[in-house]
Every structure is written in C-alpha cells, then in structure tokens.
Structure 1
Amino acid sequence: MRVAVTGTPGTGKTTASEQIDALDVIHLNQVIDREGFTQGVDDDRGSTIADLDAVESWLDGRDDVLIESHLAHHVPADRVIVLRCHPETIEQRLRERGESPASATENAESEALDVVLTEAVDRHGTDSVYEIETTDRSPDAVATEIESVIAGDCEPNPGVVSYIEYL
C-alpha cells in the first residue's frame, strides 16, 4: 500500500511521519533535492519547481511506503492523508522557521482556502482522502491517527475541517 501524507507547509507532516513504524517513510522533498527532480525556480516565490513526472518514475515499484511532502498528493497513492492546521498557527510556525512574512501569509491563506485538500480530492477522489486536524494535537497523537488510517480503521472524511473564518 502507498500512503501519501500531505498538507500545507507547517501542518506537522514531517514530525508526525517520522514516528510512523507501519510503513517505510519517504521524505519526498529530500528525494527531489537529492535526485535533482526539478524544472527550475519560481522566481516570484523563490522556490524550486518539482518535476513530478520524474518523481512518479522514481516512485514506480516502491510500494508499502508512506510518502511525506506538501506535494505528496500529486503522486499515485492508495490513501491520501491531508494534515490540517489553523492558519494562524501555520503562519507562526513558518515565521519561526525563517520563512518570509509574505510566504507565511500565503501558506496560511492557502490552508484557509483548502487548497491542498481540494487538489487531493481532485486527483484521488473522496473515497481515498482523509483529513487530520493537527492544531492542538501532539505529534504522537497525529502519528497514531495516521497509523489508524493505514490500518484501515478510519473512513475517508474530506471536508470535515474548515478555517474559513480566518479569511
């Protein structure tokens, strides 16, 4: 089984995924950097543009893995887990990491607008997408819920989290 753990930057994907024992974890951003799977730089954002075709080819034949990244929902997966976090918390976390105020605000607004969730549902359908609210939860609690999704103990639930009041 291939599981994608995705979400807006700052939702806790990496921290929670590092505690998963049920599957081997692939930190997709590290793979993209290490393998050079890029198509240039987005000058407006100062970020690398991933070559998702190259990523998919690299992933071909890799099963029984958990793929972690804000891009993970763009690759084939049996289950897609979208981590969600209140936009104000995302903004704070990203600024603490050294992100620019503009980047932190853009990511917070994306979270409020359900951008990653919408993309995940568009690619994988409502029967394969799970949302996990992470705002006030420990990484252990989030990891436990991810493992419940992997084990098949949860039903898909896209659309249960809303931060529209942030806007």
Structure 2
Amino acid sequence: MESKLYLLSGTPGTGKTTVAKKLKDNNFSIISLGDFVIQNNLFCEEDKKRDTKIIDEEKINSFFSKYLSNNKFSIPIIIESHYADIIDLPCEIAIILRCHPQILEKRLQSRNYSPEKIRENIQAELLGDSTSHMLEREDLIEKGSIFEINSSNLTIEETANKIAEIIQKPENFQDLKAGWLSWLSDPTVQMENYLD
C-alpha cells in the first residue's frame, strides 16, 4: 500500500518545523523539504542578499518522485516547508499554519533574521502568501482539502493535535477551510508597521 501525502506549509516562524517534529512522534513520517533540497543539492542558486537558496522546482519534483518510489513508507507522509505547494504529486490535504504578525515578528527576531527578512516574511503572512500559493493546486481545491490553522496562541502539542484531527476527519473542520483568516481585516494588526 502506498502512503498518503499531506502538505504542511506556512510563513517561516509559524511553527511548521517544530510541529512536524511533534507529529513524527504521532506516527507520521516527516520530510522537511528545505533540508531535503539542501541535502540533495536541488537548488539552482543562492541569493546572498536575502540569505536564501533559489530552488529548482522541476529538479525537486523529479528527484522527490524517484525518492518516494525507492523508499517505501508504511505510515502517512507529511511534507513540511513554506514552499510545500510546489510538490506536484497527488496529496490528500494541505494545512497552512498562520500566525499573528506581531507574534511572528518576535519569533523571527529570536532567530536573528535581518530586519529586511523579517519585514518580507511578515508581509508574506499579512497577504496570506502560503495560502494563495496552495490555492493554485486544483487537485486540492476540487477536494476542498486546504485548511488554515491560526497557531498564534496554540501550543506545539495543540497545533500538532489539530493537524492530526484534520487529517483523520477533515469533514469536521469546514470552519478552517482556506480563506477564513485574514490579517488585513484584523484591527489588532498594526499594518503601518509592516507595509510600505
């Protein structure tokens, strides 16, 4: 039996990697796409100014498809990355972690991100970039299987449990379908701090 694929995305700092580690303890196989790309040299260049690697999507998908064929997984696979949407293999569900911009700012500062990189990531969160990119996946739209979780005030365990619950019974979480959360209309967000 082939393992089912799930996508976990969100702006850097929303909790994906930490939550993924917790999910690994709950009988999921976790593939951190960022680590996978670096370990297998699947990027085409480095943007030193932005301190990031430019990925080669075609190369990633070709390599990743072969990797999954050659490695049999007996448990569900969660692919974790802020660019998980690029995986063009059939997936069951995509979950995007969201985080209030002011909380996200503190998390990114604690990682010693540059002010420019913090601003760029907060703008991405404000605009819902991870959700927008995932909404380009027609396979997931047709199934109605793209969800958003506001991780701002949830513990790692609560977030991991919510993800596991959505994977087990997505029909019980219609209120978390993509599009329910908008920081742009949230009066607690101080927009002037983040937008030019």
* TM-score normalised per structure 1: 0.92
> Counterpart in 2 of 1:163?
183
Output the amino acid matched with 2:14: T
Moved over 4 A (4+): none
Match of 1:106 among 106, 110, 120: 120
Q: Which residue among 126, 132, 136 is the counterpart of 2:153?
A: 136
Q: Are 2:52 and 1:47 aligned?
A: yes
Amino acid at match of 2:164: E
Q: How does 1:3-82 map to 2 (within 5 A)?
A: 3-20=6-23, 21-60=26-65, 62=68, 64-76=76-88, 77-82=91-96
Q: Distance in 2 between matches of 1:39 and 1:141?
A: 37
In 2, are the aligned partners of 1:22 and 1:147 still within 8 Å (CA)? no
**SS, match of residue 59 in structure 2:** helix
Helix, strand or coil: the match of 1:18?
helix
Report how far residue 114 of structure 1 moved: 0.8
Structure 2: give runs of 5+ residues left out of the alignment. Answer: 192-196
Deviation at 1:30, TM superposition (A): 0.6
Counterpart pick for 2:97 among 73, 83, 89: 83
1:152 CA displacement: 2.6
Contact 1:38 / 1:49 at 8 angstroms: preserved in 2?
yes
SS in 1 for 2:135: helix
AA aligned opposite 1:146: I
For normalisation by structure 2, the TM-score amounts to 0.79
Query: Distance between the aligned counterparts of 1:149 and 1:73, measured in 2?
Result: 18
Supply the distance in 2 between the matched residues of 1:27 and 1:33 (Cα, whole angstroms). 10
Q: Which residue of 2 aligns with 1:116?
A: 130
5+ residue gaps in structure 1?
Answer: none
Contact 1:6 1:81 survives alignment (8 Å): yes
Number of the residue aligned with 1:125: 141
Q: 1:2 is aligned with what amino acid?
A: L
Task: Return the offset for 1:55.
Answer: 1.7
Q: Distance in 2 between matches of 1:110 and 1:9?
A: 9
